[in-house]
Structure 1
Amino acid sequence: MSRFRTLPAIKLVIAALFALAVILSISAFVLLRASLPQLEGQLSLKGLGQSVSLNRDRNGMAVIDADNRRDLAMATGFVHAQERFFQMDLLRRNAAGELSFLFGRAALERDREIGLHRFRQRARERLNTMPAKDKALLDAYADGVNQGIRALSAKPFEYYLIQAELQPWQAQDTLLVLFSMYLDLQYHDGRRDLSLDLIKRYLPAPLYNFLHPAGSHWDAPVDNSVRAASKIPPTSWPKVAATANVLTDGESEDLLPGSNNWAVGGQLTPYGSAMLANDMHLGIRVPNIWYRLQLNWQDHSSTHQVTGLSLPGTPLVVVGTNTRLAWGFTNSYGDWSDLIRLKLDETGERYLTPQGYTSFSYPTRNIEIKGEQPEKQRIKETIWGPVIGEDENGRPLVYRWVAHDPQGANLNLLAMEAATDVEQGVAIAASVGIPAQNIMLADAQGNIGWTIAGPMPIRFGFDGRYISDWSDGSMGWAGYRQGADYPTMINPQNQRLWTANSRVIGGKDYDKIGDGGYALGARAQQIRDQLLAKTTFTEDDFLAIQMDNRALFLSPWRDLMLTQILPESSHPQASVISQLLNNWSARADSESLAYLLVRQFRLTLRDTVYQDLLRLMQEKHPDFSYRAIRNQLEIPLWQLVTEQPTHLLPEGFDSWASLFELTLKKMLQNLTKEYGNWQELSWGKVNQVQIKHPLSDFVPLLGILTDMPQRPLAGDSFMPNVSRHDFGASQRLVVSPGQEQHAILNMPSSQSGHPLTPYFNHGHEAWRTGEPTPLLPGRIDYRLKLTPDND
């Protein structure tokens, strides 16, 4: 009887829990709505000089009209804060080493690591030496940000979820956002120099030269310079302990921050104006890193219009067009940093410099930790930079990095807004303080140009790829290059230019740029060949190249499997795989199982072939990074599997046939273990959209509101359409200056960071499928007027 007596009580408890859930849901919804940006009406801003129109089209693209650039900066700060403050906060804290303020001890190790660079202090220093007009813009932008936050009825919803307070925006924080891009686009810990140096010192020279070739048949530089691969050496792999772990990631080389861009001259377009394409490859989250906007203002009785993508946290249009000149970027992967091995005195407290032994300095900073007392971080510094680690013998290693110098961060990119042609754009690029990029330029007169945008150090006495010793003054940096000394190409004879993170140029210009980990040239080659195959181009033609998912890189691997590996295989599914490969589409189609099998076979084989190399290097130093050096390993890998030298078989294999057989077996086992029956898979089932809000993995049910729908993705690495889960084209731009009405702009994820905005995730599906969407704003659906607050 007692069991039945408890039923009413259970029902009461369930009802109470349900009522509580309803109350909590309503409260959460009310809070969520309270943090929505203001889209319409009128609002007063302190410090605003004249009234500003802040309008949005149906997709949320902001169109800002102002009487001057300062008011425009304030309005840009306002709209960025209303829609993106949490993301801006993450960027500044990421660079400053201050994420523990929001996330507590979970972020402390990251903060300690990044804190070695003292970017907060460097941002203050840059601000103090900045031209007055630029500082005025940053002050206006910061004022706009803080008033944008105060104008919300509640702070952004993320701060309630993590139970953290927000802090006001400061002008110096914009420079921290630029430093955060350095952390995304360049190495901050010297891992590439360390890893290459280890390989060079612990392998015989012929074997090292084979594994790190100067070039290959995949190269596609704009000057057609040739750099050859190396022959297979007679040297075998060094012997190492077979029990050592091998750390790999099973992924492709091109899934690193990168990008594609190219341009053709006016002779090859319908307009006489040049045409530019740009898609920047980055990790993609909700919201997207970029914010679509158009800026309109007056300057000395001249009218300006700039349309493109801004980076919230800055007043800059990073990529776009001013109707006379268009510009876009790809990461240069030049060599912009160096590792220095110190010589210490007998006490270990002083290090040798060209002027003799000198003492370390020890600046400190406080790391604020949510819910705990602050931690004091003591940083060990030299005249060249911070000590960031040790070599395998315990000798200190110092990091020399352009990001540490005054040239590393400035607002000179603003000058691109008023540039009228390629020549002016090239001159501006040499003064820009950003992580060094390949900048592609196209103007309305039909000119095209390429150069490096960002600071370029002048080395002397050493090869920047390896650890160096600056103690006697025979090695070092001799300042920075000036504009006339920058590598540049304007209006080549064939009227075509392209870059895709691989080597762009040879000769002395290559020596100036250096090698900071170039991508294989496969993407660049696929783009180049399509540009050379046509004599006229439209915007749709350029978008088709951006969406090109032909598997030209993997085709030789498919042929190898069909002609040599599968016919000799005893695997029971070999004939099934052969049939699939015989009928493949030669594309990274979302429906293709054959593409998935070829891709995974190559990756599994690569990691097996190099297992002895990786064991040795990881045994020598725990910070050895396979990911940092593997780009060019593809070239010797193909030579190994096609020429099949027995002396370079990895430990445990007596023939290449046995290696191929094990690779096939392991590849199918791995697919089955991770995804289920491999025969029911396709590339799209494995490669699906996983674009999420940064907190959705940690806050239950948040992803239902914020995350992009999981859908199959075509494309992959080693092809123009780079696309993998949450990585790929963070935008696609195609524009001919002066013909913006025909221009195309795709953007993934969302313009707004707030899931209840009426345009949340608009445009994302068009990005996924490659449907052309316009660069210019559409019909204005939301009108907000910002007026001066004179009280």
Structure 2
Amino acid sequence: MGRILKWMFRLFVGALISLGVALVLVYYFASRSIPDYDGSYALAGVSAPVEIVRDTHNIPHIFGQTDADSFFGLGFVHAQDRLWQMLMFRRTAQGRLSELFGARTLQIDDLLRRFDFYRLAQASIDDLRPETQAALEAYAAGVNAWIAEVNKGALGRGAPEFFLFEPEIAPWQPADSVVLIKLMALQLSWHLQTEVLRARISLALPPERVRDILPEAPGTGLIDLPEYAALVPGIDRRQAFAGGPLPLDPLSPVGPRALAGASNAWAAAPSRSAAGGTLLANDPHLEFTAPSQWYLARLDLGAGGVIGGTVPGIPAVLTGRNAFLGWGLTSSYADDQDLVIEQLNPDNPGEYLTPDGFKPFESRRTVIEVADAAPVTITLRWTENGPVIPRTHYNLGAVTPEGHVAALKWTALSDADTSMDAAIALMAARNVDEGIKAGRSFVAPAQNLTLADRERIAFQTVGALPRRAAAHQSLGRLPAPGWRVQNRWQGTLGFVANPQVIDPPGGLLGNTNNKVIDRPFPLHMSFDWGDTQRIQRWERLMSARQVHTRESFIEAQLDTVSQGARVLLPLVARELWFSEEAAPEGSEAALRRRALDLLAEWNGEMSEHLPEPLIYTAWMRALQERLIRDELGPLADEFDRPQVLFLERVFRDVDGAAVWCDVVQTSAVEDCTLQARRALDDALLELTERFGSAVEGWRWGDAHQATHDHPVLGDAPFLGPIVNLRQSTSGGDTTLMRGLTAGTGANPYRNTHGGGYRGVYDFADPDSSVFIISTGQSGHPLSRHYDDLGELWRRGEYIPMTLDPELARAGANGVTLLYPDLAVARP
């Protein structure tokens, strides 16, 4: 027996040693791809030495003697720190994820192939300015130079993920950068999903109830829309509840709950600045990932230095400043997508009906390679309106009659897309007028550009806005018959029609994705907007001061007061405040009373340390569920976050909206006070089961954790805890420091979407400008720069934004030198 125990002990120790050796080897090979920031490289593609100074936060300051050399350096550092991320962006845009990940990403590849982004990007190259083409080529050369160094020096395949997936890497091409802007357009566009949802709701509800659940942003009234069943013959109302959403996948940039993005930007003229210079703040909101989609960099160009937020794969500072001009981006919510219902020829399904009769689809076949499975061949079909999207995507089967297909008209589907021209030209602009001029080339996604030079501020929407006919049957708000000429686009409105404000009399400009213009159709910009609440809080903060400072702009950027809570709580709880009778401790009534007492004292601040934000959010979710589930059934799943305007309409009984409080299936007539009380009990039961019965001990931050997940490895049981980042955070769906709740899953309160980049630029003292991103600069999980900026971001702290070369060199974390390879350059 003793011998057996002894051998078992030896085997156990041996297994531990083997495991330890294996872990050491894994760490060694994985860490080989952490770049040496003090290296020197002789490379083909640079004309003169390029110095790359990494400051203490690992932000590269790239000093090239020509613009081409600086863009080469940017490509080099992007590849050093984010190679895997760049290649995943490219694979997504090309529809080639399934080559690595198998059938789980097949529907994503299917959809992206139908958009044909990559062919359109390749075709757009010839329409770009020579300066832009040169920048793209130099950037691609820089990326490829690092890939060559990885192969030559056996540097861990360039990223640890390549040990788990196929390591072959195709060279980077200029079109790879152009296509990433189209991928951003897909992330930031949502009108297709909205049209489908509105059509489904129209099939399920009478028109007056559609206006409740999908209300208009406050402003001028809207012409009544036709019912969808009358607009598209042959549709079955029961289809509204049929089908299911595209299965979500961590790699997917789309899906039924994909967001159009959100963002904040505001500016102050010298007259409203304490220091006498202009101020600009910007925080674009995107889905949180690890690493962040943003990467900080400084470029030294012929026009001067430029610094700010870049996206790996794109050779431009998309939000930031140079010595003379700052610029920020917000999603415009322009209606640049129309879903078109095409009627098939009953005698020949290869043809569809146009105003001029039946015409054949433009068709071609493409093969999707699938790891560990047979290749899948699909047929791509285009009509005069755009690509045909199968019924399996976007719930299109629910709104497409038999004998018809759906096609998408979209400004991003341009084969002469000059958006990259605008991105490159903006970095060289020296004043507001030049910044606006640069924006003329932008096509998609339509964005709001906020500008500040040393003396002036401006707001300009950039991107193509469709020109629709005044007789358009659905005003672009519902899928419309494509065989009727009035439903077809008539080109674009032209840049002169894009909203613009220069030097406002009040000296302040701001946009939180709110409505920016109220022109009548068809000169409108959109009927659907991304915000109706945050803008009210911004106006209050801006009007509270006569003059502003960098600090007051930071304070507004980090503000966590929910305007939605301040609007809804007095309405929903007005019959419940202080009306509860005494009840035994631990009873449902006692818990309800304690929660109401807390909310009565609350100012709407969504602080991570308080229980009130958790009670409020859970209550509004439960209340909306009670109001809509009986009438919408499965369609209620599409409304997974509290809709402030809807709840406000119901509790103000706007146009009879209080009818939603009655449960249609019961003989009794339920009122809104009863539903509010029941919903509060639902919410408290849910929270008690999860967090215990001590209400005062509940913390919003325990539920509202920012989830920065690795898109590929985040679900792996052992790797997930290493590569995913979790942070307790304040904010909420309607706060300026937006932390959008997931709305679904085991924890619907987790924070999934917000300002992954924040920047505040002060032109009274430009080098006092600051910025931050939500993770770290490196995409390597073993690098100390993988998450080193994340805690600063969580605490609301910033780091300096300097264009002074000596300040950058004084705090250098490493200096990389790129030299021309004379052996290669020699004939």
CA 1:93–1:614 in structure 2 vs 1: closer, same or farther (change >3 Å)?
farther
SS at match of 1:38: coil
Q: What is the CA deviation profile of residues 82-136 of structure 1, one whole-angstrom value per residue up to 9, with x for unaligned ones?
A: 1001111111112221111221222112211222111122122122443333222
SS at match of 2:282: strand
Structure 2 counterpart of 1:344, which letter?
L
The residue number in structure 1 matching 2:220 is: 227
The residue number in structure 2 matching 1:437 is: 447
2: CA distance between counterparts of 1:246 and 1:587?
Answer: 37
The residue number in structure 2 matching 1:221 is: none
Structure 1 counterpart of 2:569, which letter?
R
CA 1:34–1:372 in structure 2 vs 1: closer, same or farther (change >3 Å)?
same
2: CA distance between counterparts of 1:57 and 1:428?
Answer: 30
Q: What is the CA deviation profile of residues 600-627 of structure 1, one whole-angstrom value per residue up to 9, with x for unaligned ones?
A: 1112111221224422858xxxxx9546
CA 1:585–1:271 in structure 2 vs 1: closer, same or farther (change >3 Å)?
closer
Aligned mate of 2:160, from 157, 171, 175? 157
Deviates more, 1:571-580 or 1:94-103: 571-580
Structure 2 counterpart of 1:393, which letter?
P
Alignment of 1:71-150 (within 5 A): 71-150=69-148
Structure 1 counterpart of 2:735, which letter?
M
Aligned mate of 1:504, from 516, 522, 546? 516
Per the TM alignment, residue 548 of structure 1 is displaced from its structure 2 partner at its CA by 0.7
Q: What is the CA deviation profile of residues 472-512 of structure 1, one whole-angstrom value per residue up to 9, with x for unaligned ones?
A: 42232122233323221111111111111121122259943
Does residue 1:481 correspond to 2:493, yes or no?
Answer: yes
Structure 2 counterpart of 1:474, which letter?
Q
2: CA distance between counterparts of 1:550 and 1:229?
Answer: 31
Does residue 1:317 correspond to 2:313, yes or no?
Answer: no
Structure 2 counterpart of 1:476, which letter?
R
2: CA distance between counterparts of 1:760 and 1:34?
Answer: 15
2: CA distance between counterparts of 1:678 and 1:92?
Answer: 49
Aligned mate of 1:757, from 783, 804, 807? 783
The residue number in structure 2 matching 1:519 is: 530
SS at match of 1:667: helix
Structure 1 counterpart of 2:685, which letter?
Q
- The question of whether the paired residues in 1 share the 8 Å contact of 2:459 and 2:500 is answered with yes
Structure 1 counterpart of 2:443, which letter?
G
The residue number in structure 1 matching 2:652 is: 639
Aligned mate of 1:699, from 710, 713, 716? 716
SS at match of 2:729: coil
Alignment of 1:423-434 (within 5 A): 423-434=433-444
Alignment of 1:561-640 (within 5 A): 562-565=573-576, 567=579, 571-615=589-633, 625-626=638-639, 632-640=645-653
Structure 1 counterpart of 2:160, which letter?
F
Does residue 1:557 correspond to 2:568, yes or no?
Answer: yes
CA 1:207–1:171 in structure 2 vs 1: closer, same or farther (change >3 Å)?
same
- The question of whether the paired residues in 2 share the 8 Å contact of 1:323 and 1:738 is answered with no
- The question of whether the paired residues in 2 share the 8 Å contact of 1:430 and 1:455 is answered with no
Does residue 1:649 correspond to 2:662, yes or no?
Answer: yes
The residue number in structure 2 matching 1:464 is: 476
Aligned mate of 1:785, from 812, 817, 823? 817
Structure 2 counterpart of 1:433, which letter?
V
Structure 2 counterpart of 1:665, which letter?
D
CA 1:291–1:609 in structure 2 vs 1: closer, same or farther (change >3 Å)?
same
- The question of whether the paired residues in 1 share the 8 Å contact of 2:568 and 2:648 is answered with no
Alignment of 1:330-345 (within 5 A): 330-345=330-345
SS at match of 1:308: strand
CA 1:642–1:199 in structure 2 vs 1: closer, same or farther (change >3 Å)?
closer
Per the TM alignment, residue 658 of structure 1 is displaced from its structure 2 partner at its CA by 3.4
SS at match of 1:558: helix
SS at match of 1:369: coil
Per the TM alignment, residue 434 of structure 1 is displaced from its structure 2 partner at its CA by 3.5
SS at match of 2:468: strand
SS at match of 1:315: coil
Identity between Structure 1 and Structure 2 (%): 25
Deviates more, 1:741-750 or 1:539-548: 741-750
Per the TM alignment, residue 342 of structure 1 is displaced from its structure 2 partner at its CA by 1.4
1: CA distance between counterparts of 2:58 and 2:814?
Answer: 8
SS at match of 1:553: helix
| TM-score normalized with structure 2 length | 0.85
SS at match of 1:477: coil
Does residue 1:197 correspond to 2:199, yes or no?
Answer: yes
1: CA distance between counterparts of 2:686 and 2:222?
Answer: 32
Alignment of 1:762-781 (within 5 A): 762-776=788-802, 778=808, 779-781=811-813
1: CA distance between counterparts of 2:366 and 2:328?
Answer: 37
Gapped regions of structure 1 (runs ≥ 5): 217-225, 232-238, 619-623
Q: What is the CA deviation profile of residues 351-393 of structure 1, one whole-angstrom value per residue up to 9, with x for unaligned ones?
A: 1112321011222222122234432221222121111134342
Structure 2 counterpart of 1:597, which letter?
I
1: CA distance between counterparts of 2:168 and 2:507?
Answer: 54
CA 1:278–1:268 in structure 2 vs 1: closer, same or farther (change >3 Å)?
same
1: CA distance between counterparts of 2:738 and 2:799?
Answer: 19
Per the TM alignment, residue 143 of structure 1 is displaced from its structure 2 partner at its CA by 1.4
2: CA distance between counterparts of 1:525 and 1:297?
Answer: 40
- The question of whether the paired residues in 1 share the 8 Å contact of 2:265 and 2:329 is answered with yes
SS at match of 1:101: helix
Does residue 1:393 correspond to 2:398, yes or no?
Answer: no
Aligned length: 757
The residue number in structure 2 matching 1:167 is: 170
Deviates more, 1:112-121 or 1:560-569: 560-569
2: CA distance between counterparts of 1:496 and 1:228?
Answer: 27
2: CA distance between counterparts of 1:629 and 1:613?
Answer: 17
Alignment of 1:673-688 (within 5 A): 673-677=689-693, 679=695, 680-688=697-705
CA 1:343–1:660 in structure 2 vs 1: closer, same or farther (change >3 Å)?
same
CA 1:509–1:314 in structure 2 vs 1: closer, same or farther (change >3 Å)?
farther
Alignment of 1:167-566 (within 5 A): 167-187=170-190, 190-200=192-202, 202-216=204-218, 226-227=219-220, 257-298=261-302, 303-347=303-347, 348-388=349-389, 389=391, 390=397, 391-394=399-402, 395-408=404-417, 410-412=419-421, 413-445=423-455, 447-460=456-469, 461-462=471-472, 463-508=475-520, 511-515=523-527, 517-560=528-571, 562-565=573-576
Deviates more, 1:362-371 or 1:530-539: 362-371
The residue number in structure 2 matching 1:14 is: 12
- The question of whether the paired residues in 2 share the 8 Å contact of 1:320 and 1:326 is answered with yes
- The question of whether the paired residues in 2 share the 8 Å contact of 1:258 and 1:282 is answered with yes
Per the TM alignment, residue 741 of structure 1 is displaced from its structure 2 partner at its CA by 1.3
The residue number in structure 1 matching 2:252 is: none
CA 1:646–1:141 in structure 2 vs 1: closer, same or farther (change >3 Å)?
closer
Structure 1 counterpart of 2:401, which letter?
N
2: CA distance between counterparts of 1:426 and 1:691?
Answer: 34
Between 1 and 2, higher relative CO (CA 8 Å, sep ≥ 6) is seen in: 1
| TM-score normalized with structure 1 length | 0.89
2: CA distance between counterparts of 1:644 and 1:375?
Answer: 49
Q: What is the CA deviation profile of residues 155-186 of structure 1, one whole-angstrom value per residue up to 9, with x for unaligned ones?
A: 11111134554333222111221122112111
- The question of whether the paired residues in 2 share the 8 Å contact of 1:365 and 1:378 is answered with yes
Q: CA RMSD in A?
A: 3.1
